[in-house]
């Protein structure tokens, strides 16, 4: 530990964000990095804890506490403080294939488990991580390093989201020849089309993909395996296959009037905007525009927030975000102690922007859509909402949500976006390879394993564990790669 009193001398300082009124005029990232001296001060706040929960990455009460990648956080914080950035980069890359992704889109599970945050504010771990990896790219330290020796084994990775890329990167570095198949026109999966540009600029993904290409990974886009590319072709040409197709089956809302024009899944809305932005800077008009329209978003999570921020940038007339659950407390509740992930209310960038534009928080809690109201043309004109409450069955003790009679309200709405999560993977890929699914439509494996019911077929990421975080997907990809390596070579030295 470099400065034993750092956490006493310096307060937490985050990178400054542009004002909402300024940043909503484009789709670019909007944080301004701290100076080197400020970053060293922030790194010096790391307390050299006896038990660094930040890098623990364990499940507590159904939630992850600490970094699932077990990043060596105290070590590289210490190295940042001492100005040893190259050494910090080396330690960071030991556990994380893509710090440039996690340091932008991860909810910072590490910071939520930081002991410094128990009585004060946590260390700026996420921003420290970003400063390390960007230093590496800016100074040419991150350069292609193809393996010196090839194993002669070929691996196909189906899907180029964070788990697929992590598996491909890890297996390639081990010396296997890896080909990644992606059904979209660009590599990145969720990273490319599921996350808006203002959270993760797509040049960051393209930069990493070009590096992986230079190291020997092959990418095939517009290749829908299980559709226009047969599973038998893949299994016949490769020694092992990793299915990393994500959890892309969106949960629907089955309410009266669901067939109205103007109702979209959030993933389609976000993808259309990003694709049009990349293809033509939105001049081709090939996206679902919210301009001058009343937007209602069903779902209070990160995807719903992304829809809020995107709708504001389109120039929507109004935006409302419906959340079925009650508002979380502003501070930890007694039944949610450290180091559990804190279940507290947060106001994210999209909600901040909606507040700045419309003067109020867009979220309405304990509410859902009861009916979609159409006009004479069949277009969506309004939604009828209803308040919800939890009730307990006295016989079973089970809690469920019940509509509150007489609480209906009608909101004008020309576009409704469904951001209610996902129900698992799309089954056609699993069916094509003849592998089993569990009762949640995730690929079935033994506990803590990635091998499927079919020889040489493995799985990773959301397709395996269900909808989760980018950082967990990278962990999944790395673990699957180790299992594939052992299958191919009889042993593995991957971790």
Q: Are residues 431 and 468 in the same domain?
A: yes
Q: Are residues 227 and 290 in the same domain?
A: no
Q: Which residue has the tokens 């990003």?
A: 274
Query: Furthest-apart CA pair in the chain: how many Å?
Result: 71
User: Looking at the domain assignment, is residue 146 inside a domain?
Assistant: no
Q: Which residue has the tokens 């989201």?
A: 161
Considering the chain, what percentage of its residues have pLDDT values greater than 70?
Answer: 100
Quick check: 45 pLDDT over 80? yes
User: Looking at the domain assignment, is residue 194 inside a domain?
Assistant: yes
Which stretch of 77-86, 239-248, 390-399, 448-457 has the lowest confidence by average pLDDT?
A: 390-399
The band of 396, judged by pLDDT with boundaries at 50, 70 and 90, is: confident
Among candidate residues 138, 164, 183, the one where a domain is terminated: 138
User: Looking at the domain assignment, is residue 144 inside a domain?
Assistant: no
pLDDT digits (tens, 9 = 90+) for 354-383: 999 999 999 999 999 999 999 999 999 999
The band of 208, judged by pLDDT with boundaries at 50, 70 and 90, is: very high
Q: How much is the pLDDT for 62?
A: 87
User: Looking at the domain assignment, is residue 254 inside a domain?
Assistant: no
Q: How much is the pLDDT for 191?
A: 97
Whether cis (ω within 30° of 0) applies to the bond prior to 339 is: yes
The predicted model gives 129-137 an average pLDDT of: 98
Q: Are residues 232 and 291 in the same domain?
A: no
CA 117 to CA 132: how far, in whole Å? 22
The predicted model gives 88-106 an average pLDDT of: 98
The predicted model gives 301-316 an average pLDDT of: 97
pTM above 0.85, yes or no: yes
Quick check: 2 pLDDT over 80? no
Q: Mapping DSSP to helix (H, G, I), strand (E, B) and coil, where does residue 50 land?
A: coil
User: Looking at the domain assignment, is residue 255 inside a domain?
Assistant: no
Across 441-472, b (16+ Cβ under 10 Å) vs e yields: bbbbbeeeebbbeeebbbbbbbbbbbbbbbbb
Q: Mapping DSSP to helix (H, G, I), strand (E, B) and coil, where does residue 309 land?
A: helix
CATH assignment of the domain containing 325: 3.50.50.60
Q: How much is the pLDDT for 425?
A: 86
Q: Which residue has the tokens 């079935």?
A: 444
Q: Are residues 396 and 481 in the same domain?
A: no
Hey, what's the torsion of the CAs at 103, 9, 81, 478, to 10 degrees? -30
Q: Are residues 204 and 307 in the same domain?
A: no
Q: How much is the pLDDT for 495?
A: 77
User: Looking at the domain assignment, is residue 256 inside a domain?
Assistant: no
The predicted model gives 89-115 an average pLDDT of: 97
User: Looking at the domain assignment, is residue 105 inside a domain?
Assistant: yes
Q: How much is the pLDDT for 465?
A: 95
The predicted model gives 134-161 an average pLDDT of: 97
The predicted model gives 272-294 an average pLDDT of: 98
Name the pairing type of β-strands 457-459 and 240-243. parallel
Q: Are residues 270 and 370 in the same domain?
A: yes
Q: Are residues 231 and 105 in the same domain?
A: no
- Alpha-helical segments (H) within 359-469: 427-433, 462-465
Q: Are residues 19 and 32 in the same domain?
A: yes
Q: Are residues 355 and 333 in the same domain?
A: yes
The predicted model gives 178-190 an average pLDDT of: 97
User: Looking at the domain assignment, is residue 257 inside a domain?
Assistant: no
Residues in the chain: 495
Q: Are residues 269 and 408 in the same domain?
A: yes
Q: Are residues 117 and 166 in the same domain?
A: no
CA 297 to CA 415: how far, in whole Å? 8
Q: What is the mean pLDDT of the chain?
A: 96
The predicted model gives 404-429 an average pLDDT of: 94
Among candidate residues 75, 103, 138, the one where a domain is terminated: 138
Hey, what's the torsion of the CAs at 220, 273, 208, 101, to 10 degrees? -130
The predicted model gives 433-449 an average pLDDT of: 92
Which stretch of 116-120, 142-146, 242-246 has the lowest confidence by average pLDDT?
A: 116-120
Q: Are residues 480 and 414 in the same domain?
A: no
**CA distances from residue 385 to 72, 296, 317, 393 in whole angstroms, order as listed:** 47, 10, 19, 24
pLDDT digits (tens, 9 = 90+) for 28-40: 999 999 999 999 9
Name the pairing type of β-strands 367-374 and 380-392. antiparallel
Mind giving me the DSSP string for 314-377?
HT-SEEEEEESSPPPPSS--TTS-TTSPP------HHHHHHHHHHSS--EEESEEEEEEEE-TT
Q: How much is the pLDDT for 1?
A: 62
Which stretch of 141-145, 175-179, 389-393 has the lowest confidence by average pLDDT?
A: 389-393
Query: What total of structural domains would you count in the chain?
Result: 3
Among candidate residues 367, 390, 418, the one where a domain is terminated: 418
Structural domain for 288, as ranges: 263-418
CATH assignment of the domain containing 97: 1.10.1060.10
pLDDT digits (tens, 9 = 90+) for 209-232: 999 999 999 999 999 999 999 999
């Amino acid at each position: 530990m470099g400065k034993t009193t750092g956490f006493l001398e310096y307060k937490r300082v985050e990178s400054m964000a542009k004002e909402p009124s300024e940043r909503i005029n484009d789709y670019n990232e909007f944080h301004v990095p701290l100076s080197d001296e400020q970053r060293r001060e922030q790194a010096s706040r790391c307390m050299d804890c006896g038990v660094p929960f930040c890098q623990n990455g364990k499940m507590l009460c159904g939630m992850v506490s600490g970094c699932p990648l077990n990043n060596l956080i105290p070590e590289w914080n210490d190295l940042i403080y001492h100005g040893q950035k190259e050494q910090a980069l080396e330690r960071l890359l030991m556990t994380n294939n893509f710090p440039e992704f996690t340091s932008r889109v991860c909810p910072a599970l590490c910071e939520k488990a930081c002991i410094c945050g128990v009585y004060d504010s946590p260390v700026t771990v996420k921003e420290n991580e970003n400063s390390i990896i960007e230093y590496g790219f800016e100074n040419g330290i991150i350069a292609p390093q193809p393996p010196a020796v090839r194993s002669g084994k070929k691996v196909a990775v189906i899907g180029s989201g964070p788990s697929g890329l992590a598996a491909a990167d890890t297996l390639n570095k081990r010396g296997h020849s890896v080909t990644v198949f992606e059904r979209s026109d660009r590599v990145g999966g969720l990273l490319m089309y599921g996350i808006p540009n203002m959270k993760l600029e797509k040049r960051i993904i393209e930069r990493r993909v070009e590096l992986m290409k230079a190291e020997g990974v092959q990418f095939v886009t517009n290749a829908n395996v299980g559709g226009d590319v047969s599973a038998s072709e893949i299994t016949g040409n490769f020694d092992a296959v990793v299915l990393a197709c994500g959890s892309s089956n969106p949960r629907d809302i089955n309410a009266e009037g669901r067939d109205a024009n103007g109702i979209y899944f959030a993933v389609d809305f976000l993808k259309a905007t990003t694709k049009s932005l990349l293809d033509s800077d939105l001049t081709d008009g090939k996206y679902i525009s919210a301009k001058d329209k009343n937007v209602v978003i069903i779902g209070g999570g990160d995807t719903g927030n992304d829809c809020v921020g995107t709708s504001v940038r389109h120039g929507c007339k109004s935006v409302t975000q419906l959340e079925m659950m009650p508002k979380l407390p502003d501070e930890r509740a007694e039944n949610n102690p450290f180091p559990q992930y804190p279940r507290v209310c947060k106001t994210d960038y999209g909600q901040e922007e909606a507040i700045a534009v419309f003067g109020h928080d867009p979220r309405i809690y304990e509410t859902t859509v009861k009916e979609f109201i159409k006009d004479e043309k069949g277009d969506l004109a309004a939604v009828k909402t209803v308040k919800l409450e939890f009730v307990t069955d006295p016989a079973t003790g089970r809690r469920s949500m019940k509509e509150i009679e007489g609480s209906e309200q009608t909101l004008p709405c020309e576009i409704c976006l469904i951001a209610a999560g996902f129900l698992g993977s799309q089954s056609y890929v699993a069916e094509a390879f003849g592998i089993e699914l569990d009762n949640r439509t995730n690929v079935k494996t033994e506990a803590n394993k990635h091998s499927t019911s079919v020889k040489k077929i493995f799985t990773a990421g959301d397709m395996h564990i269900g909808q989760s975080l980018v950082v967990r997907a990278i962990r999944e990809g790395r673990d699957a790669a180790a299992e594939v390596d052992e299958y191919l070579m009889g042993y593995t030295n991957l971790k």
